[in-house]
Structures are given as C-alpha cells and as structure tokens.
Amino acid sequence: MSKILSRRTVLKGVGIAVALPWLEAMAPIYSWANPGTRPPVRMAFIHVPNGIVTRRLQDGNVLNASWTPEGRLNWQAGRASVLLPAWTPEEVGNLPRQLPSLLEPLADFRNDFSIITGLANAHGRAGVGHGPAQGAYTTCARPHHTTGSDYRAGTSVDQVAANHLGDRTRLPSLQIGTGDPGAIEGYMSSLSWRDATTPLQLIANPRHVFDRLFATDSGRASAQREVERTSVLDFIREEAGSLQANLGVNDRRKLDEYFSAIRDIEQRIERSARMPVATPPRGFAAPDARARFNWADHVRLLGDLMTLAFQTDTTRICTFVFANEFSGASYPYAGINDSHHYVSHHGDNAAHVAGCTRINLHMLEQFAYVLRRLKETREGDGTLLDNCMIAYGSGNSDGNQHSKSNLPVLLAGKGGGALRPGRHVRFTEETPLANLWLSMLDRIGARVDRFGDSTRKLNTL
C-alpha cells in the first residue's frame, strides 16, 4: 500500500464506528524509531479492595516480618507489621526466580512488572474504615467526611492525564469495574474524579462498555442489533473488505485477528444475555438478575474490552475497579466461600489469613490474564504491554488494621521505554503514593508540577 493510512481511520456503518488497531500501513516500517510515529503510551489504574494479606503461614503459625539493617526480611512470630511478606521480595533489585507466594500467578511476567514498596497515602487515613482508602487512592486528597451526599476529594490522576491528553482520542478516558455491591458510600463506588466534587460513574455492564467503544449512536444501534442478533462487524463488512484489499499480508492478518476478538467478545456477551434467570428453590432468595457473570469471567471480559480500547487507541487512560472497597464478596465457583471483608480482618487467625490469601491469589490470577492479553497483542516491534503503564494495588495495605503505610503497589509494562520492569524498587518508608502518580503523569506526557501531596518525581522506576 503506497498511501499511508491515517491513524484516525475508522470503519463506519449504521450507528457504528469501529476504530482500527495500529497497522503497518499507518506508518512506514522504518519510522517506528521516529518519536513522531512511535505507538502511544497508555495508562491504567487497577484497584483491589481490603488490602493484601500481611502475614505468612508456616506450619500453622502466623508469622510477621521486619526489615533488618542489611535490607532483608526477618521473619518472626508476634508483633504485627505491614511489610506484606507474602507479596514483597526479600531483596531489592531484580525480581528473584522464585517470586513471593502471592505473586506466583505472575511468574510468566517476571520481566514485565516491578514491585514498589515504601509508598504511603497519608490522606487515606482520613476518618476510619474503607471509604478513604479508595476515595484517596487515585486522588491523594483527603476525602471530606460526610454522612450525606456532599462528597469531596480531589481530581484523580487519570483525569489529570485526560485533561492533558484526552483530545487525542475519541474517549478521553474509560471507567470500568465489576459494580460489586460492597459500595455503601460514594468514596467506595468510584476511582475517577473529574474534580473535587464530581466522581465519575464506572461502567459495569460489558455490553455498555462495548457499545461505548464501538457505537456512535449506542441506543439505536444497540437496540437494532439486539432485535436482529447481528454483529457490529456486519455493519462495516463492505468497507472492511475494501480496506483489506489494499493492505499487506501482516496487516490483513492483524485485522482478521482484531475482528475475531471483537466477535468473540460479542458472542460471550450475547450468550450471557440469553441465560435465563433460574427459579430458586423454596425458601431461597432469587439471585440478582443482573449477575450474569461470575466475578472472574466478568473481570476477564472487561479486561478484554480495555485491551481493545487501548489497541484501537479509542482511549489511552482507564481506571478498572476489580471490586469496591469494603467488598464482602465470596467466590464459590473457585472454592472460596469466605467473605472477603470478613477474612481481611483476620486478627491473626490462621484460617482467616489462609482465606484472605486465597482471595488475593484469585484476584492476581485475573490480573495475570489481563497482562497476557496485553502482551499477546503485537504493536510495532513490540507488544501493547510494552507501551503501557498498568498500576495494580489497593488503598489499604493491611485490611486487618486499615493501614495506609507500605501500600501494595505493582507497576506493569515498559511505558514505551520509560520504565524498567522486572525489579523490586524500595523507597524510604512513608514516601507519598502521589510521587508515583506524578511520575507516571510525567512519563505519559501530562507534565504537572505537583499532584496531591507529592514531594518529588521518582526517577528509578
């Protein structure tokens, strides 16, 4: 193809606009080294509730840990700590071949993420309980304590990025999550804040996320597809055929894979939508009719949609709430019958520590799936994950004590070359979490002097 294809090319049908993945035809192959045509950097913030278990079980005993003067973890029974021994590598530097037990689901991605320790969020300590943990996590602002609806926090890091970069994509940012019913107040139902008083509602229904990504007239187009049971691909088939005829072999293969991924997601949503609501046995309450996915399938489908949104450059910024803070969900399909919130307050009870550990592992297994989808998506000379910065963590470190010190933070991706993953990076205790968010903003090109209670940028990421 002699003519360079515009990066903003979309395939249009009735009420439909499908963005394209990055194709070789959008820039000459030799130009990938040119900063002007390098794939864009994306960022996502993934939040999990109730902290990460801060104990390790050994022969039925609950052990805690503390740092030695030599910078190693010292295991001991007794005094509680928030050093996350099942999460934290014992030494700084390159991640060990044998990862800490909680990170085992991420073994295939050892060179694609770093563990960052020493970060704290002072503003998350406002009041008590779980609300401040999520409300302050991406804002690094002190949530206003209220029993009414006059919520007030601060502009979240994703929205600072959207204010700088949002005009480069069709959607300035995307807010998704499972819509877990654990949210009992505004600070626990959103991760994105447009400003100090405007939390942005997340989209939980995968169908609605899909329509937001691909429908220009979501109401009319979605209704028509429901009646006719047609794919969005049917609306653009003719235009897609004309485009493919003018593409090279690699681009045709990439476009086929992309269309297959779209159809696979559609079919999964449609299968779920057709599932009837079962009549419960006498004496049992009927399940919520909206709960059409188990939690893991829901997270994976949303992860696929986030990957598509990044792949098509429909947006470069996403917040993803795996589950709301204070979540009491259990996961019986995975053999986990414990309430998450209940076992997070384990009181050093070995059975509760084990239950909380199983839930942490289950969530990290889904995160591993999201990383795999990003890494399997080729982009330029690398992968989509190479051009991402994906922060995974919780606004609490120790759910047992609602601690906001030494937060569990994992940073995945290479940020287009701005990050050096595969390491344990340890900062001085009580380093503001805002310093990390400020540093990520700088690396994506949304440069600001300060964010929240930041004190400096982190140069060793």
Q: What's the CA gap between 176 and 237, in Å, rounded? A: 29
Tell me the per-residue pLDDT of 306-340, one tens digit each, with 9 for 90 and over: 998 898 888 999 999 999 887 888 899 899 999 98
For residue 270, give both structure tokens: 């449609």
pLDDT surpassing 90 at residue 296:
yes
Residue 192's closest CA among 161, 220, 165, 218?
A: 161
CB burial readout 416-440, b (16+ within 10 A) else e = bebbebebbbbbeeebbbbbbbbbb
Q: Which residues pair with 411 in a beta bridge?
A: 114, 391
SS3 14: coil
**Tell me, what's the pLDDT at 66?**
52
H helices, E strands: number in the chain: 11, 17
Reported confidence tier of residue 62, pLDDT bands at 50, 70, 90: low
The alpha-helical segments, DSSP class H, found in 206-277 are: 206-214, 218-228, 232-235, 237-244, 249-274
**Tell me, what's the pLDDT at 400?**
72
Q: Which of 338 and 62 is assigned the larger pLDDT? A: 338
Q: What is the DSSP letter of 315?
A: -
What is the end-to-end Cα distance of the chain in Å, rounded?
Answer: 40
Residues 6+ apart with CB under 8 A from 84: 52, 53, 54, 117, 397, 406, 408
Q: What's the CA gap between 116 and 393, in Å, rounded? A: 10
User: Do 9 and 22 form a contact (C-beta atoms < 8 A)?
Assistant: no
Across the range 33-57, mean pLDDT stands at: 78
Q: Which of 150 and 225 is assigned the larger pLDDT? A: 150
Q: Which residues pair with 264 in a beta bridge?
A: none
Q: What's the CA gap between 219 and 337, in Å, rounded? A: 38
Q: How far is CA 5 from CA 25, 33, 162, in A?
A: 5, 18, 26
Tell me the per-residue pLDDT of 203-237, one tens digit each, with 9 for 90 and over: 988 888 887 877 545 445 555 555 455 666 666 66
Q: What's the CA gap between 125 and 17, in Å, rounded? A: 44
Look up the pTM and report it. 0.79
Reported confidence tier of residue 421, pLDDT bands at 50, 70, 90: very high
Question: Strand locations in 300-436, DSSP E?
Answer: 317-321, 378-379, 382-383, 388-393, 409-412, 423-432
Under CATH, which architecture does the 46-215+292-444 domain have? 3-Layer(aba) Sandwich (3.40)
Helix axes 295-311, 206-214, angle to 10 degrees: 10
Backbone φ and ψ for 50, nearest 5 degrees, come out as 70, 20
pLDDT surpassing 90 at residue 7:
no
**Tell me, what's the pLDDT at 455?**
96
Q: Provide the Cα torsion 103, 181, 186, 137; round to 10°.
A: 0
Tell me the per-residue pLDDT of 267-286, one tens digit each, with 9 for 90 and over: 766 655 664 433 333 443 43
